[in-house]
Chain A
Amino acid sequence: MDVVKFFGPLLAEKTGLKLTPCSGMVRLALRDAGKTNDLFKMNDIKLLINKYLKERLERAGFDKNEEIIKALNLELIKNQSLLLMTARSQK
């Protein structure tokens, strides 16, 4: 699952900010986590959101980060089938 393409627009929707910085924020969190865009394990994505993205939002001093993180977690659970449906043997 391409987490930048999935969480970037979601972050933009929840924060009201533009897509570019939101996708960039997810990329920064990925870089902190030492991961690439394609993640398939639920635990890896949860860690990305709840630790690395949260830390980034806190460092940026974003007001509603708890609320945003909670919303992203909900979206992840709601759309968990994407982990399976985006898996392919070829790139």
Chain B
Amino acid sequence: MSEEPIRITYFIISFIFHCIIAYYIIKTARKTKLNQLYLLATHVFLEGFLQIIMAIQGPYGEVGWFYFIEILVLVVFMKWGFYKEQRSISAYVVIVISIVNYIIYIPLIVLQISLAIRRFIIDIIMITLGSWFLYVSLSAYLKIRSVKGIEPWIKARYVLVMIYGFLWALSGVFLMIPGPTTELSPLILLTMLLYIIIPVTEYLAWVMPERFKNWLNRNYTYEEETGELSEEEIMKSFGGD
């Protein structure tokens, strides 16, 4: 069997899967009115759309610039979601790296300069962003890890985002290893496998299906109340009359 239909089928399924994730994220955004989630949905949709582009043009086609839009959307989402009220040097560093790479990348496409250089730039971005993701989610996770009022599924979500970041960086490392990009080499297959695991991680993290959530929470008990208190009793506890 020719490898082309396998590749195209894979990319189309991946696109549909990304659309499903984006749909659920939009549903959450509408419910919670968290506007930054629209950015995440845009990122996931673009990630899926890139699968179609890759199916047609290969992983480093002429529309590689499209990739940068997806990345910038994601960086802004992370900055907004994790550091809106805080200064974050790392966020600005990642934004600057992304923009600088984008500025370098565009002329490379226009002038049809070496595919290897273009590939290198994309890989650098993937490794930088993936590592940053890992760092951001790990730092946030460490702050809430021991808070008893936070349910395990929420903590697991941080871990899933960490895994997502790690896999992204890892796929960048894989793609940096020299080898053919047009045929199904073991390295390409490994990278494709990562591209299957990455959206699954995204699905589990952002959609968080009910059964998965319940499974994560299976041993969770929150011993909050030892009995109901009246308003008067509560106020008295704080020194009131």
Residues on A close to B: CB < 8 A? 2, 4-6, 8-9, 15, 17-21, 23-25, 28, 40-42, 56-57, 59-63, 77-90
Contact = CB atoms under 8 A, between A and B. Distances in A.
Contacts of B213: 88
Contacts of A2: 149
Interface in B212-231: 213, 222-227, 229, 231
Interface stretch (B29-37, B65-73, B117-125): B29-37
Interface of B: 24-25, 27-29, 31-34, 36-37, 81-86, 140, 143-144, 147-151, 154, 157-158, 207-208, 210, 213, 222-227, 229, 231, 233-241
Given A5-B150, A19-B224, A89-B28, A40 B84 contact: no
Given A6-B149, A59-B235, A84 B208 contact: no
Most buried by B among A18, A23, A83, A85: A85
B227 to A, nearest CB: 7
Contacts of B222: 5
Given A2-B149, A9-B149, A82-B150, A89 B234 contact: no
Most buried by B among A15, A24, A82: A24
Contacts, number: 121
A35 B241 CA distance: 26
Given A78-B143, A85-B157, A24 B86 contact: no
Given A17-B238, A21-B237, A85 B158 contact: yes
A46 to B, nearest CB: 9
17 contacts: A6-B147, A8-B149, A19-B223, A21-B237, A42-B84, A60-B235, A61-B238, A62-B239, A81-B140, A81-B158, A83-B81, A84-B36, A85-B157, A87-B29, A87-B34, A89-B25, A89-B27
Given A17-B237, A79-B140, 10 more contacts: A20-B224, A24-B233, A60-B236, A61-B239, A62-B239, A80-B84, A80-B85, A81-B81, A85-B154, A90-B208
